[in-house]
Chains A and B, each alone.
Chain A
Amino acid sequence: MLVWSRSGKLAVWTFAALLVGVVFLAPLAVILAASFAGQWNGVLPSSFTFEHYAQAGGGASGEAVTASLATGVVASLLALISGAWAALALRAQGGAAAQTLGVLFFVPSAVPSVSVGLGLLVAFSQRPLLLNGTMAIVFIAHFVLISAFSFGNVSAGLARVSPDYEEVASSLGARPFYRLRRVTLPLVAPYLFAAFGLSFALSMGELGATVMVYPPGWVTLPVAIFGLTDRGDIFSGAALTMILVAVTLALLLALERVSAVGAQARSG
C-alpha cells in the first residue's frame, strides 16, 4: 500500500527477493550443496556424493549427534521446568521483589556464554563439587543458558492469560494446586511447547559455553563441526551441519503439530 504502480511493485519485490535470496537463502543452499559435494573448485560442485553423510552416520560424528540430542532434550526439559516454575512463582507473588527477581532470572541469557562456561569450569574444578571432565557439566552449562530463555517465554505467555479464568476457578472452590493443574497450565500449554522447541534449538547450536567445559567423551555437534572445519574438512562439516539443522527443524515441526492439535480442541 506504499507502492501503487505495478512496475513499482515489481521493482520492490525483485529487490526484496534478491535481498532475501542473497542474505538468507544462499547460505542455506550452499551448505546443502556442500554437504553433497564431491569436488568443488569453481562456481558449482563438479561431483556429488553421499560420502559425507555416510561418514556422519557412524563413529565420532554419530556420537556427536547422540550427545547433542541427549543434551538438548534433557537440558531443555529441565530448563522448561525450572523456568516455568520460576515464572509461575513470581507471578503469584507480584510486587517489587518479584520484579527484581525476574530480572535476575533473565541475567544468564544476557551474559556471554563463554563466561558461563568459564565460571562453571572454575567453580567445579575445585571443592566442594568436582564436575570437571564429566558430561554433567555440559548439561549444567546448557541448563543455565536455556532456563533464562524459558523463563522469559513462559512469563510472556502467562501474562497473556487473563486473570479471569483463575479467579473464577478460585471462586468455584479450586485450591491453588488444582487450579494450576487444570486451568493455568492447560491455558499456557502452547507457550510451554514453543519454549521447549526454541530451547532445544538453542541447545543444539550452543558453542561458547560447551567448548569451555566439554569432556573428550561428550562432544556435541557444534564442537564436532568446529573440529572438522578447523582442520579443513569443510565438506564433512557441512554435512554434519545439515544433520544438525534437519534434527532441529524436525523437532520444531513435530512440536508445532502437537501444539496445534491441542490448540484446535481448546481455542476460544
Chain B
Amino acid sequence: MTLAAFVDEAAIASGAAELRGAASTVAFDRVSVAYRGAVVLKPLTLEVAAGEILAMIGPSGSGKTTALRAVAGFVRPASGRIRIGGVDVTDQPPYARGLAMVVQNYALFPHMRVFDNVAFGLHARGAPKSLIEERVAEALKVVGMTQYVRRYPRELSGGQQQRIAIARAHAVRPKVLLLDEPLSALDAQIRRSMVEEIARLHAELPGLTILYVTHDQSEALTLADRIAILKDGALSAVGRTGDLYRRPPNRFSAEFLGRANLVPVVVESDADASGLVAVRAGGERLIVSGADERAGASRLLCVRPQNLTLAPDDGHTNRLAGTLREIHWQGELTHLVAEVGGALMRVVATKLPTTPTRGERLDMFFSPDDASLIAEEADV
C-alpha cells in the first residue's frame, strides 16, 4: 500500500502550512537523570533542529529512552533544562508540552473505536467537533486507514494498530513527535514497510520534528537525518547520518552503526593537501583519507565489509592480503571472513565471479575514500 495513493494534496498542504508555524526545536541543556541514586543519563547537551528526524540509538541501558521520556515529561531531570521551540518546559507537565508519543506496544485505548482513539488528543484539548472530524479524517487518510474508522483496536493487526497510533499522534499537530521503539513489536516484514511509510510521512510533513528512539541501527540509517549514539548514559557520537556512517568518530559508533572492520595501523606521513594520508598495516602500505593526521600516530583503520572487493575495481587502490577462513552464501549476499595478520576481516559481496575456497589466499581491495581512521581509545 503506497502512501501516495491516499495523499490528499490540499489537506496536506494546509496542514503543512500550519505546521511550519509550529515547527519546533528540541534542546537538551546538560540534562541528567538519576533513578534511585544511580545515574541513568549523564549530563546531555544535544540540539534537534526543526523539521528533522533525529534518531537516538544505543544498546539497552544507554539512556536513550530516558532522554526521550525527559522530553515527554515523564521523567524529571536531576539537573539541566529541556527546551522545546526555545521555551523551557522542564517544569511543565506532559499534557501541557504540545507533544505526542507513539510507543512500542501501540497503547491504543481498547475500549474506544479507532475514531475515538484518533480523536482523543483533540477531545482532551477541547477542540470543537467540526475540527475533530476534519482532523481525524485527514489523519486516517494520511496513514491509509480510513476504512477502519469504526473498528475496535482488537480487530486490527499490529501494523494497523501502529498506523492508528501514528494517526492519533498526528491529529494533534504536535510540535515534536516522539517515537519510542515504534516498530520493535512488529514482524520483520511489516517493519520494513512501516519504516518506509514513516519516511514518506516525514517527507509529506516537512514541519514535523521527530525524535526517534530505537536499538535497530538499520531503522536509524533509513529514517534519520541525524543520529545520536548513546552508551552507558552518555553521548558517544552525534552527526549527520551519512557522515557518521562514513567517518565514525570512535570505535563504538563504528561498530554499532553498521558493521566495521577495524585494523590497527600506524600513520607513516603527515596528511597531504588532498586530505589523504599513508598508513602502514602489517606489511602493507595503504592510502586513506585522514585530513588531520600526523606521522607516527597509531590509529584504527575502519573499512566496512561491503566496501571490500575481491578484484581491484575502479579506484580500489588499496590492497590487504589475507587467507579465507569462512564463506557463507545467504541468497542476496555472500559473507566472507578472512584472516589478515591474526585478525579477522569481514567482506560482504553481492556477486562473486568465482567462489573462493577455504584456506585460499584472498586479496581484498578498497578505495581510500571508503576507509577512515579512528583514534584508538582506552575503552569507550
- A residues adjacent to B (C-beta < 8 A): 162, 164-165, 167-176, 178-179, 182-183, 186-187, 262, 265-268
Contacts and interface: CB of A to CB of B under 8 A. Distances in A.
Contacts of A186: 109, 111
A164 B103 contact: yes
B336 to A, nearest CB: 44
26 contacts: A162-B107, A165-B107, A167-B72, A170-B94, A171-B72, A171-B94, A171-B95, A171-B97, A171-B100, A172-B100, A173-B121, A173-B124, A173-B172, A174-B95, A174-B120, A174-B121, A175-B124, A182-B109, A182-B120, A186-B111, A265-B111, A266-B154, A268-B110, A268-B152, A268-B153, A268-B154
Contact of A171 (B101, B109, B112, B154): B101
A178 B127 CA distance: 14
Interface of B: 72-74, 93-103, 105, 107-112, 120-121, 124-125, 152-154, 165, 168-169, 172, 178
A178 B96 CA distance: 13
Most buried by A among B74, B95, B99: B95
A167 B152 contact: no
B contact patch SS: mixed
A50 to B, nearest CB: 46
A225 B154 CA distance: 49
B229 to A, nearest CB: 25
Given A167-B107, A172-B101, 15 more contacts: A162-B107, A164-B105, A167-B74, A170-B93, A171-B97, A171-B100, A172-B95, A172-B172, A179-B95, A182-B120, A183-B109, A186-B109, A265-B152, A266-B112, A266-B152
B63 to A, nearest CB: 18
Most B C-beta atoms less than 10 A away, residue of A168, A178, A179: A168
B110 A266 contact: yes
A7 B94 CA distance: 64
A266 B95 CA distance: 25
Contacts of A183: 109
Given A172-B168, A173-B125, A174-B124, A268 B95 contact: no
B225 to A, nearest CB: 22
A168 B101 CA distance: 6
A179 B153 CA distance: 19
Scoring B108, B111, B125, B169 by chain A CB atoms within 10 A of each residue's CB, the highest score goes to: B111
Nearest to A171: B101
B197 to A, nearest CB: 20
B124 A267 contact: no
Given A172-B124, A173-B172, A266-B152, A187 B103 contact: no
Most B CB contacts (10 A, CB to CB) among A173, A174, A178 go to: A173
Contacts of A169: 109, 120, 124
Nearest to B104: A164
B81 to A, nearest CB: 19
A190 to B, nearest CB: 11
A169 B111 CA distance: 14
A171 B99 contact: yes
A107 B351 CA distance: 73
B94 A267 contact: no
Contact of B111 (A162, A167, A172, A266): A266
A162 B105 CA distance: 10
Contacts of B107: 162, 164-165, 167-168
A168 B74 CA distance: 10
A24 B241 CA distance: 70
A172 B153 contact: no
* Shortest 5 CB-CB contacts between residues of A and residues of B: A268-B110, A172-B121, A266-B111, A171-B101, A174-B124
A163 to B, nearest CB: 9
